[in-house]
């Protein structure tokens, strides 16, 4: 008999994985958590029925959420990762020699523990001496740390439950305050196919706070619509004009992919077109 896990990505679209076995399953303080061994995607982390990471394509997402902003900043030393309890984004951040501290602010300690136990390819970096793990709300953390970080990466769940606050204008203002004078903020920003209104609203909110706000794209096959977006907001550097050319141990990110990621298809350009005065 075959066993399948199906993620309802929208009310009318689903994605299914053939499951070899359930490695771990629990109800944490915040969410339903599962780690599955699947036939074609390897290990899959699922939170509240939503696919967070899969062995097959996690490197695309984690490399692109980390290296684009870090290579935009002139010399990132203190980096904050909000969410990201699986450890994949911290793993990529620590590939930068300039980074002295990578702080992880993850609200759900159960995600960190499950990843430590079952997803070592993602979580191994959490034991790096430069990594400091804080279990708590990322929005509260930035509100109490003015001028603390060179780069803030928001590797959150979707805008529901505890993740909703990480898509608010108040959070973007607090993040701006928590960044140094040439700080860079970046957040995963969902699917241009299914979340266009959200993308447009977030870009407008960020433009009220940051002088430079740009969207970039990558292909993550297991996320809804496969084409995934990230929004970068910067106090000074432009992510294309000022990007540093850094050759890293990666499988997707290159300096050329960095620049190409900001070339947007017409329907995405229209989502983020500045409002006419």
Residues that bind ligand SAM (CB under 6 A): 30, 47, 52-53, 61, 82-86, 105-108, 111, 137-139, 155-157, 162-163, 165-166, 188
Q: Which residue in the list 57, 108, 155, 205 is annotated as catalytic?
A: 155
Whole-number Å distance between alpha carbons of 170 and 164: 11
Residues comprising the chain, all counted: 277
CB 34 within 8 A of CB 46: yes
Residue with tokens 């995405």: 268
Determine whether 155 is an active site residue. Answer: yes
Q: How many CB atoms lie within 10 A of CB 152?
A: 29
Could you give phi then psi for residue 7, rounded to 5 degrees?
-100, 125
Residue with tokens 């992919």: 257
Residue 261: closest CA among 197, 226, 216, 220: 216
**Least separation in angstroms between CB 137 and ligand SAM:** 5
**Least separation in angstroms between CB 54 and ligand SAM:** 10
**Least separation in angstroms between CB 266 and ligand SAM:** 25
CA atoms within 13 A on the CB side of 41: 26
**Least separation in angstroms between CB 112 and ligand SAM:** 8
Map 129-180 to HEC letters.
CCEEEEECCHHHHHHCCCCCEEEEEEECCCCCHHHHHHHCHHHHHHHHHHEE
Catalytic residues, which ones?
155
């Amino acid at each position: 008999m075959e066993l399948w896990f199906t993620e309802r990505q929208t009310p009318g679209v689903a994605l299914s994985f053939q499951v070899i076995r359930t490695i771990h399953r629990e109800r944490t303080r915040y969410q339903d958590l599962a780690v599955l061994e699947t036939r074609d995607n390897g290990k899959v982390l699922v939170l509240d029925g939503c696919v967070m990471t899969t062995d097959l394509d996690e490197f695309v997402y984690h490399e692109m959420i980390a290296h684009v902003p870090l290579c935009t900043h002139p010399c990132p030393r203190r980096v904050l990762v909000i969410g990201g309890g699986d450890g994949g984004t911290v793993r990529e951040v620590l590939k930068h020699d300039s980074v002295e501290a990578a702080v992880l602010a993850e609200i759900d300690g159960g995600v960190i523990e499950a990843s430590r136990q079952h997803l070592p390819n993602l979580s191994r970096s959490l034991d790096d001496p430069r990594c400091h793990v804080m279990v708590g709300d990322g929005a509260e953390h930035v509100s109490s740390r003015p001028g603390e970080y060179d780069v803030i990466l928001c590797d959150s769940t979707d805008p529901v439950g505890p993740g909703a606050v990480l898509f608010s204008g108040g959070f973007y203002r607090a993040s701006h305050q928590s960044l140094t004078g040439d700080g860079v903020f970046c957040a995963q920003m969902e699917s241009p196919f299914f979340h266009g209104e959200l993308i447009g609203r977030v870009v407008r909110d960020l433009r009220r706070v940051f002088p430079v706000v740009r969207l970039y794209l990558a292909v993550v096959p297991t996320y809804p619509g496969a084409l995934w977006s990230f929004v970068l907001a910067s106090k000074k550097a432009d992510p294309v004009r000022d990007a540093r050319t850094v050759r890293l141990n990666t499988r997707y990110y290159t300096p050329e992919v960095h620049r190409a990621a900001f070339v947007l298809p017409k329907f995405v350009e229209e989502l983020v077109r500045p409002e006419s005065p």
